[in-house]
Structure 1
């Protein structure tokens, strides 16, 4: 962190992908909202959709097209069961995939949950200058993903580099 560089708050949307969660019991979405706000960013929007690739794509497409949303963090649907379809929904929308995100996430998860980490298909990428991070649906996975990967990359003060430096919409202001 370079404290001489000013913090730039981002507008981040949170999408929970679940066939069973509601706003009342969406603990993973709440973890992300709390962490985003504690970091000094704004929650631009929060939604819950069924684990259906077309519903996921519909919401993400709106957010990707919205120049006011800088990033999206999703939770859920990254496993290997029949209904888990987040990677399949998201990948066609990406202009570029951030290959290292899933690799690092699984490495960090291995420290906590050992070989169960191989069941995660966490992915990230950029679409229309909007960064998208797809995390598993557990609260622990959301804490690991935000605390150990996403937060630093969405902080302009992180050195030697961060994703904010690469956000053309944000740096045009």
Structure 2
């Protein structure tokens, strides 16, 4: 989609949360990809953490970041599958004011080109919570690339037309 070069680029502050029982800072490849891509795009890394696959821990971390005025957006990686330990969508739903169903739908459509019908196992999702965007991506490096390159790179760019998530930020908490 087109980028309108006459518009100003507005960097946003993004926190990256890896959700995994097995990854640590030294081998968080999907988190590293997200950080590399968001900073290359001109955004600011506001915070970064790893949480285990535990609803209460994920909810607590999300709640802290949602309450932090220095964080505009949270991108998670991991925990979006269908196994018993995959609980990221449930945690996101607990903090969400509004779900953004089109994100998961578009993610699975894009992912289909890469992994075929296996994309049906993804529960990638997105929400708005107290004016903060949350995007939950699967934990694979390919899925993170698909999510950033195919959706978030453009939707988090204030110059993207005909519309983008950034231009909506001042109105997210309106009642």
- TM-score when normalising by structure 1: 0.96
Q: Does 1:116 align with 2:112?
A: no
The answer to whether the 8 Å contact 1:14/1:29 transfers is yes
The answer to whether the 8 Å contact 1:67/1:169 transfers is no
- In the alignment, the residues of structure 1 paired with residue 18 and residue 171 of structure 2 have an alpha-carbon distance, to the nearest angstrom, of 25
Equivalent residue number for residue 48 of structure 1:
50
Q: How does 1:15-26 map to 2 (within 5 A)?
A: 15-26=17-28
- In the alignment, the residues of structure 1 paired with residue 18 and residue 65 of structure 2 have an alpha-carbon distance, to the nearest angstrom, of 14
Equivalent in 29, 32, 45 of residue 30 of structure 1: 32
- In the alignment, the residues of structure 1 paired with residue 62 and residue 94 of structure 2 have an alpha-carbon distance, to the nearest angstrom, of 11
The answer to whether the 8 Å contact 1:152/1:162 transfers is yes
- TM-score when normalising by structure 2: 0.95
| 1:92 CA drift (Å) | 1.7
Residue aligned with 2:71, SS: coil
Equivalent residue number for residue 135 of structure 2:
133
Equivalent in 91, 97, 100 of residue 98 of structure 1: 100
Kindly provide the CA deviation profile for residues 97-120 of structure 1, in whole angstroms up to 9, marking residues without a partner as x. Answer: 111000000000000000100000
| 1:130 CA drift (Å) | 0.5
Q: How does 1:127-166 map to 2 (within 5 A)?
A: 127-166=129-168
- In the alignment, the residues of structure 1 paired with residue 118 and residue 48 of structure 2 have an alpha-carbon distance, to the nearest angstrom, of 28
The answer to whether the 8 Å contact 2:59/2:94 transfers is no
- Contiguous gaps of at least 5 residues in structure 2: none
Kindly provide the CA deviation profile for residues 66-96 of structure 1, in whole angstroms up to 9, marking residues without a partner as x. Answer: 1110100000000001100000111121111
RMSD of equivalent CA atoms: 1.1
| 1:168 CA drift (Å) | 1.4
Equivalent residue number for residue 61 of structure 2:
59
- Find runs of 4+ consecutive structure 1 residues off by over 2 angstroms: none
- In the alignment, the residues of structure 2 paired with residue 97 and residue 61 of structure 1 have an alpha-carbon distance, to the nearest angstrom, of 16
